[in-house]
Structure 1
């Protein structure tokens, strides 16, 4: 159980937790904040032991607790910090015998899901996250790309618009299908300017995102090639808990998880399908492992009736454990 006395008043009075079919959702890039995990480090013996024991070459503790927003937002830093937080919190849940019925993750968060399900061990998932972030950052060098969220549109309409302006050398693709209300596109800035004018003419809203890399598009081909080679040195085990994958939008792993994770970095993230399929398979309570309620907001747009609990602080964690054992 938790190492410190649980609070008398918790945040989840209206949530029944024990006996529910729980799905963990591991957040992706954009959910990072400076000092993430520091309150766990200062409050939990297990969390402190984890951060103190991580390979010093990853610089995880300094990046997590001391890096400012400008340093943390760099892809090569963001991804290892997010996975570090997710591994730490998963370990704490396991210590308290809270285990999900299924897991998924958004982009880099999918590696948190693979750790939780037993596909990857702690050492390997941290090394992969650092390697992946570095390789994705390299792919963004020397090209001028941006990302935009398109509001209340359809995959078919967006692809039709992109086809008008794309060329072999410069293009824009769909990066994420998060919900029926939010589809993310990314790619060449010049092409995006033309696409934005088209969208504006059609009365379609869009919002610029604070991510410059054209993630989950063919601009990440070199990162995919690097991951494919790197994965030859890593053992992937069979999942002990069902994983819903970004590439397929389901728990179908095509018989090769490594191949899926290579494809993932350069392919559309079908997060909406992941959530819909988890709900269809009986998941009725989601636990978001990430900050700023980003996942919670997306999930509620997919299904407004589903319950989502977000865990971003040690107080959140204590409250959930307390409620679980009532």
Structure 2
């Protein structure tokens, strides 16, 4: 049964073996994608012989492509019409825009390749997940502790947020957060994503995108940075500023439910968004979700 909201996951959902169920169904698309990226996406996802699957530039290409193929398979099975709305967690914006007809599969892959390369270049930053019932008060705690140069990168759930900053500042902050009862988990990333530290990448990405023309979305696309519906006039702004703004997943899912969306389907590797969204909407039987970045 098709759902009226389709959700696409972001970086962190990659796993060895992802895409196994769809690669054989779309051999021509796979061949063309391999020409664009210069290597075998199928081999990366299924075997990862060179240990690159968790490298940001490769990760983003792989997750985008697998998510798009899985969406094509989903649309073939259920038809495109039942999907009223698409949204995505960070990188997940791009398969969402593909599903909404904003660009084709291969232009999206080119854009994601540039995005991933720029994010891969961002160094000296770090990210920490803050877990527990006090996580909802993190903004207030950052002010009280006078860490004004630390940004909230993700509001994943009321008890799970992610902080992004220069590594030395987080080294100072984490013990102080733990002293007041927070549980902190370092994330395996090389940069301070979704923070002011991504400003150089944002500027370069804007230069890369500004000459491109995008089609108006054929479905409702909901931004997870602003919560608003993205029209054609806001697409470039969303793609560019998403790099320096937080992902507001908790607020977005709550908004969608409040505005009448009842069924949510995650398309892409893993089920982390499914778990997060069920927990946000009150399904207590859901397993504990992993921190997202």
CA contact (8 A) 2:87 2:93 kept: yes
Q: In the alignment, is residue 32 of structure 1 matched against residue 14 of structure 2?
A: yes
**Corresponding residue of 1:54:** 33
**Corresponding residue of 1:278:** 256
Q: CA deviation at 1:244?
A: 0.9
* CA–CA separation in structure 2 for the residues paired with 1:267 and 1:98: 34
**Corresponding residue of 1:131:** 114
Larger-Rg structure: 1
Q: CA deviation at 1:206?
A: 2.1
**Which of the numbers 273, 278, 282 marks the counterpart of 1:300?**
278
**Corresponding residue of 1:228:** 206
**Corresponding residue of 2:99:** 116
1:42-98 per-residue CA deviation (whole Å, 9 max, x = no partner) reads: 4x3xx2332123251412333233325831111010001001001111122222343
Normalised to the residue count of structure 2, the TM-score between the two structures is: 0.87
* CA–CA separation in structure 2 for the residues paired with 1:175 and 1:89: 27
Query: Does the residue aligned with 1:210 lie in a helix, a strand or coil?
Result: coil
Q: In the alignment, is residue 66 of structure 1 matched against residue 47 of structure 2?
A: yes
- For residues 1-326 of structure 1, the aligned pairs below 5 Å read 17=1, 22-42=4-24, 44=25, 47-58=26-37, 59=39, 60-68=41-49, 70-99=51-80, 100-140=83-123, 143-154=124-135, 157-163=137-143, 164-166=145-147, 171-251=149-229, 255-305=233-283
CA RMSD after TM alignment: 2.4
* CA–CA separation in structure 2 for the residues paired with 1:91 and 1:233: 28
Aligned pair in 2 of structure 1 residues 173, 264: CA closer, same or farther (>3 Å)? same
CA contact (8 A) 2:101 2:216 kept: yes
Structure 2 unmatched ranges of 5 or more: 287-293
**Corresponding residue of 2:289:** none
Aligned pair in 2 of structure 1 residues 276, 306: CA closer, same or farther (>3 Å)? farther
Query: Does the residue aligned with 1:248 lie in a helix, a strand or coil?
Result: coil
Q: CA deviation at 1:205?
A: 1.7
Query: Does the residue aligned with 1:200 lie in a helix, a strand or coil?
Result: helix
Between Structure 1 and Structure 2, how many residues are aligned? 281
CA contact (8 A) 1:83 1:112 kept: yes
